Amino acid sequence: MAGNTFGTLFRLTTFGESHGKAIGGVLDGCPSGLELDLEAIQNDLDRRKPGQSAIVTQRKEPDTVEFYSGIFEGKTTGTPIGFAIHNTDQKSKDYSHIKDSYRPSHADYVYDQKYGFRDYRGGGRSSARETASRVVAGGIAKQVLATLKINAFVSQVGEITLQKEYKELDLTLTESNPVRCPDPETAAKMEEYIKDIKKEGDTVGGVITCVAQNVPVGLGEPVFDKLHAELGKAMLSINAVKGFEFGSGFEGVKMRGSEHNDQFNKDGSTKTNYSGGIQGGISNGMDIYFNVAFKPVATVLQAYDTIDKDGNEVKAQGKGRHDPCVVPRAVPIVEAMTALVLADFFLLNRTVKL
């Protein structure tokens, strides 16, 4: 079954390819009467768009979203919200070099094997261009969840790691630099590093940390649809993601239960939050925080060895406009996927108790 739909009640279906006419989506299940701030949605798209700074791909797309249905006089009507973003700066000839061969560690080989036919222009459907539609729907989800705060930021680029916890950071500084790291000193180092990597025609990975605050107690549907399981799925569905850890994550392994247990305050909140705001798959009202690891993406602007469709070894040369490090542009995508999961569980939770 094609996997182009995400969510149970708050349900997004996306369509489109990198070099097609447009990408877009249909968001179903959005409650009616919600006054939409369309500027906030466009602002999130602008944070994801190509060409926004010297350290991202220089493809120049305005990424302007157009809504076709589900909104009347500025408010949602409760009917499907259809929208599209037109592709305006496709340079398909940039990709003729990969028409007959596969970029190692991209999706070219598996798409060809699975479907027997491939839109090679810009990676077709496997391109992260699709994630712009997620950002639009996530922007609406954020407004459904107006009382929640969802903030993602870059916490690692290659070996350069932010040495502070999210609570020690001023998250309003995330947008103050092109890397989207809220610590200006670390951000400057990361920026220089990405520029060096770009000069070499290479790529580097990174980590995005995301924090959701003011989440009510009770979101998550055990046993298979636990909140952290759905967040994990949402994050791992983003292109180039290789890892997800929430709460104390892998570091927690080194602690003892007596240290790791989050002791209660009288009001049910906890003195520590190693649980990452989720216990038994259900939100407990504490901050939800998690890390998402992105690989160094496949397209290096260097000569490389690969194979062609017939299995012959060939030499190829990476070309085109690509991201040397995708995490600065992926911050709004992580926020959007978080909002989609939380909005869905928020609506599902209304079916639980009379």
Q: Which is nearer to ligand FMN, 84 or 107 (CB)?
A: 107
Residue of 26, 65, 84, 107 that binds ligand FMN (CB under 6 A)? 107
Complete DSSP assignment for 85-131: EE-----GGGGGGGSSB--TTSSHHHHHHHHS----GGGGGGSGGGH
- Residues within window 125-144 making contact with ligand FMN, judged by CB under 6 A: 126-128, 131
223: preceding bond cis by omega (within 30 degrees) = yes
Contact mark string toward ligand FMN, 200..239, x via CB under 6 A:
--------------------------------------xx
The minimum distance between CB 53 and ligand FMN, in angstroms, equals 13
Complete DSSP assignment for 41-55: HHHHHHHH-TTSSTT
Given its phi and psi angles, is residue 83 left (phi above 0), alpha (psi -120 to 50 degrees) or beta?
Answer: beta
The minimum distance between CB 119 and ligand FMN, in angstroms, equals 13
Size of the site for ligand FMN (CB under 6 A): 21
Does residue 323 bind ligand FMN (CB under 6 A)?
yes
- From the list 320, 299, 166, 317, the residue with the least C-alpha distance to 240 is 299
Residue 333, classified by CB atoms within 10 Å of its CB into exposed (0-12), middle (13-18) or buried (19+), is buried
Contact mark string toward ligand FMN, 283..322, x via CB under 6 A:
------------x-xxx----------------------x
The DSSP secondary-structure symbol of 36 reads: P
Rounded-to-integer distance, Cα 96 and Cα 113, Å = 19
Contact mark string toward ligand FMN, 45..84, x via CB under 6 A:
------------x---------------------------
Q: Which residues form the interface with ligand FMN (CB under 6 A)?
A: 57, 106-107, 123, 126-128, 131, 238-240, 295, 297-299, 322-323, 326, 329-330, 333
